[in-house]
Chains A and B, each alone.
Chain A
Amino acid sequence: MTRYSRRTLLKVGAAFAGASAIGSPSILSAQAARIKIGHLVPLTGFLGAIGSYAQLGVKMAAEEINASGGIIGKQIDLMSEDSVNPATASTKAQRMIEQDGAVLLFGEISSASSLTIMQVAERNKKVFFSTGARSDALRGKDCNRYSFHCDIPNTVMVNAVGTALKQKGMVKGKKFVTLTADYIFGHDLLKAAKAFFSANDATLIGDELIATDVTDFSPYLLKVRQAKPDVVCCNLAGNQVTNLVKQYAEFGLPYPLVGFNLNTGDAWAMGEGNLSGTWPTVWYHTLENSASKAFVEAFTKKYGKPPENHAWIEYITLKMIAQAITETKSTESDALIAYFEKQTQFDIMKARKAYFRSWDHQLVQEAYPFTVKPKGEMKDKWDMLVLGEAVPAAGAKLESIYPTKTQNPCNMKA
C-alpha cells in the first residue's frame, strides 16, 4: 500500500476540502418519457439557499400539471438538478438535451451560469427560460433567439429602488458607496447603478468589488466608515446580502443601507431587526391579488412555509410553458418562440398581465420597492416587508421602466 507523508496529506487536505463544493445528488424523476423538461438551479454555493426555494416552486407546478392530466395528454417528466457553477451548468444542460432528451430547459439564478446555459440552448436550438438571472447583459448584448428572461433585469431593480429613494430625498447631491458582487451580475448592476447616480446628481465616492465566497465583511465595513458616505448601497447577491446585512447591523454604522438587489429568501435568513432601508423585489407573498393568494395558500399548505420569489417565478414559468405547449400543440422550438414572440399576455399573479417582449425576450412585468416592517406589526416571521407602490405607476406603460431599444444592445440572429 502506498504510504503518504502525513504532512503532505495535510496540504492535500486543504485542496480536498475545497472539493466539497461539488453538487448534491441530482433529483431525477425518471418515468416513461413523455415531455421531458430540463431544470437547473443552484442548490449549493452562495445562491443555493434561494435555489432550494426555486426547486420547491417548480416541483409544485409540475405536480399540479401532471395531476390535471399533463400537457396535450402527456405527463411532464421534470429533471431538476443542481447547476453548481457556470461550467457544470453548461455541461449538465448539454447532457440534458443530448442524452436525456429534454425538449427545453429552464431555471437558474446565477447570471454567470445562465449565460453558459443560454449558449448551450442556442447551439442546440432548444428554448431556455432563464428564471432568476438578472444581469442586463443576458437580455442585452448577450441575448439570443432561444433564450427568454423571466426575472426583472438589473436596470428595473435600480429604477424601482431609485424612484423610491428619490421620493425620500436620498439621491440628489448625496454621496454613495457601493458594495458589489464580483461577477457578471454585480458588474452589470454597478453599471446600471452608476448610470442612475449620474443621471440624478448623486456621486459615487467608493466602490468595492467583493468575491462571491466572502463571508466576513468587517474589513469592507471599516472601509465604508472611512469613506463617510451619505448612503451605502448593496449590489451583492445571495448569501452575500444576508452576511452583509447581519454584519452591518452588528457594527451599527450610522449610514442608511439600501440595495438594488434582494431576494426574500435572503431577507428571511437575516435575523430579527437586522434589515432596514429600501430594496426592490419582483414578487412577495403578501401581494394583494387573488391568484397570488391562492398560490401562497396552496404552497404553504404543501411545504409549511410561504413561497419565496424564486418559488413563485419557477411556478409561473412552468405554467406559461405548459400553456404555450398546449396552445401550439408542439414542443418544437420554432413554434414556441413564435408563440411567445406574439407577446402573448400571461396572468402572473400581479395586478397587470405580463408578456415577453418580442425583440429581447424579456418578461415585461411590474416590480415593487419595499421597506421593512416594524417588528410589532409582523404577523409571522415571514411577514417582514412592506411593499411600496408598484412600478411603473398605474397608468404608465409597463415598458417604461425597462431599457429601451436604443439603450439595450440586443441583436438577435434569426
Chain B
Amino acid sequence: MQFGFLLEQVVNGLVLGGYYLLIALGLSLIFSVGGIVNLAHGAFYALGAYISVEITKYLGFGSAVVLSPIAVALFGILFERFILRRFYDADPILSLLVTFGLAMVTEQAIRIIWGAPPLSAAIPQALRGSVFLGDFLFSRYRLLILAVVAAVLVGVWLLLHKTSFGRVVRAGIQRPDMVAALGIRLQPYMTAIVMLGVGMAALGGAFFAPITIVHPAMGAEIITVAFVVVVIGGLGSFWGVVLAAMLVGVVRGITIHFAPAAGEASIYVLMFLVLLVRPRGLLGERIEKFE
C-alpha cells in the first residue's frame, strides 16, 4: 500500500510538472534565442490569470482560457518591440534590471486596476471532483490541464522541429551570426518567440486561476520555480526543460510524502545537485554565445 501511495505522489508530481512547464518553456525559449533573462515572465502569468477571471464573468471559462493567452501574447508584441528589442546586444545586466522593473510595475498596475485583495475564481461545476483510475485518485481538472499541456508541448515541438520557422529559431540559438550572414533577420522571429512564451505563461495563469489564489504578487511566486526548472533542464534543450519540470514536480511530491516540511526546499537541493554534476543542466547544449 505504501508503494501505491508513493506512486500516486509521483503521478501527481508529473501533472504538477506540466504546469511548471507552461511557465518555464517560454522563459527558456526567450533566453535561448534572445539571451534575455525575462524576470517579467511571472507578470504575464499573473496578467493571464486576471484577464481570464474577467473574461470568465462575461463569456465563461472556455472562452477565457483561449482569449486570455491571446490577449497577453498581443501584449507580448509591445513588450518585445518597445522594450526587449533594445537589449539584445546590451550588457545582460541591463535587461535583467529592465525586466525586473517591469515585473514590479506590472504588479503595482494590477493593484491599481483590480485592487490589492485577491479576486475570486472557481472551477466550472462540470470539471470538479476527482476520477479514479484503478486505485489512483486524480483531480479531473488537473487531468484537463495535463491534456492541454501535452497538446501545447506537441504543438511547440512541431513548430520548432518541423517548420522553416523552427529551423531559423534553432539556428538562431546556436549561430545567430550565421543566420544573419544568410540574410535572415532574427527580429521578427524573436517577436514570435516572445508572443509564444508569454502566451504560454498566460495560459498557465488562466488554468491555475480557479485553483490558486489570484492576487497581485502571484507572478513573483511562480517565477522562482520556473527559473529553477530552466536551470535544471539546461539551455537550448526542449526536452531538458520538459524533463526538469517533471522531475521538480515529482521530487517535491516524494519529499512531501516522506518529509513534508522539506517539500519546498527539495527543489533547490535538486538544482544544487544537478548543477554540481552537470553545470549546463541536464540536457543543456554548449551554446557558443553564452560561454
Residues of A within 8 A of B (CB): 1-7, 9-14, 16-18, 20-21, 24, 43-45, 48-49, 52-53, 182, 208-211, 213-216, 218-220, 222-223, 225-226, 239, 242-243, 246-247, 249-253, 265, 268-274, 305, 308, 381
Contact = CB atoms under 8 A, between A and B. Distances in A.
Contacts of B139: 218, 247, 250-252
A220 B91 CA distance: 44
Contacts of A265: 117-118
Given A10-B231, A53-B117, A271-B121, A222 B211 contact: no
B16 A214 contact: no
Contacts, number: 185
B210 A9 contact: no
Contacts of B91: 1-4
Given A215-B212, A218-B139, A209 B261 contact: yes
Contacts of A243: 211-213
Interface in B97-117: 100, 103-104, 107-108, 111, 115-117
A249 B128 contact: yes
A268 B117 contact: yes
Contacts of B280: 7
Interface residues of B, number: 68
Nearest to B43: A20
B42 interface: yes
Interface in B209-251: 210-215, 217, 220-221, 223-224, 227-228, 230-231, 235
Contacts of A52: 115-117
B290 A223 contact: no
B22 interface: no
B-side binding surface: helix, strand, loop or mixed? helix
A-side binding surface: helix, strand, loop or mixed? helix
A14 to B, nearest CB: 4
Given A17-B223, A250-B211, A269 B117 contact: yes
Interface in B8-35: 8-9, 12-13, 15-16, 31, 35
Interface of B: 5, 8-9, 12-13, 15-16, 31, 35, 37, 39, 42, 91-93, 96, 100, 103-104, 107-108, 111, 115-123, 125, 128-130, 137, 139, 141-142, 210-215, 217, 220-221, 223-224, 227-228, 230-231, 235, 252-253, 256-257, 260-261, 263-264, 275, 280, 289-291
A269 B217 CA distance: 14
